[in-house]
Amino acid sequence: MKKLLPITIFSSMLFVTGNGIDGHAETSEDLPSAESILTSAAALYDGLDGVYYEVEKETTSEHQSEELLEKQWIYDNEHGFFRHSEITEDDDITFHLFTDLEDPDYIFETNDKKGDAERYENPFPENNDLALAGEQYEYLLENAELTFKGEEEVNGYETYHIEAAHDGIVSHYWFDQETFYEVKHSYNHPSAHYSSEVVDYELNPEFDESLFRPAKGQ
């Protein structure tokens, strides 16, 4: 995905404050509404047959905090539905969970400390649909109070920031302006704070069979 170069970020700051080269500040009429942003985010998944992303997640509560790095390769195409999850936790142990290339009804699970990969039947086949990711935005459109908060830079991505209030919880979402892919999400619960930030992502990546085979020796 295209990221902002430093000079672009600086130019954008000038533009927003009304001191851009053309001398005109961007008006509210030029910006999308929170509803149109979520509509575009949901529609993104209608024509998507794969996604790769790397995301940093943090959960903080009164008694503990947890940080992890997650990488996901998800394909939903002519090959079937395949997912490879790679999660590294605070203790630096990396866990792998991935679909069996030979029989997608089964998955493998392993980690850096374990030799052999364990194979078992997928317990949640109903989740084998990439379009499910877009349904959360459709739900917000129907049930949440939405507010457009502005434009912000997140990890090099130029984003639209929206706020969604529902059932007493206020969540914040940041979407890449170029694709409407979600690159940041956060919310405060009475007992915890959660945030996730995308470090990198790719839409419709090339299918990689090696992701769905156990490594040699496993």
Band the pLDDT of 112: cuts 50, 70, 90.
Answer: confident
Of 23-27, 94-98, 121-125, which range is least confident? 23-27
Q: Hey, where are the domains in the chain?
A: 31-212
Mean pLDDT computed over 62-71: 90
CB 98 within 8 A of CB 107: yes
Select the more confidently predicted residue: 167 or 177.
177
CA distance to 102, 184, 208, per residue, from 178 (Å): 36, 15, 25
φ, ψ dihedrals at 200, nearest 5°:
-160, 150
Per-residue pLDDT tens digits for 2-15: 444 332 322 332 22
% of residues, the chain, pLDDT over 70: 85
Model pLDDT, residue 217: 54
Superfamily grouping for domain 31-212: Lipoprotein localisation LolA/LolB/LppX (2.50.20.10)
Cα–Cα distance for residue pair 79/34, rounded to 1 Å = 35
Total-model pTM: 0.82
φ, ψ dihedrals at 156, nearest 5°:
90, -5
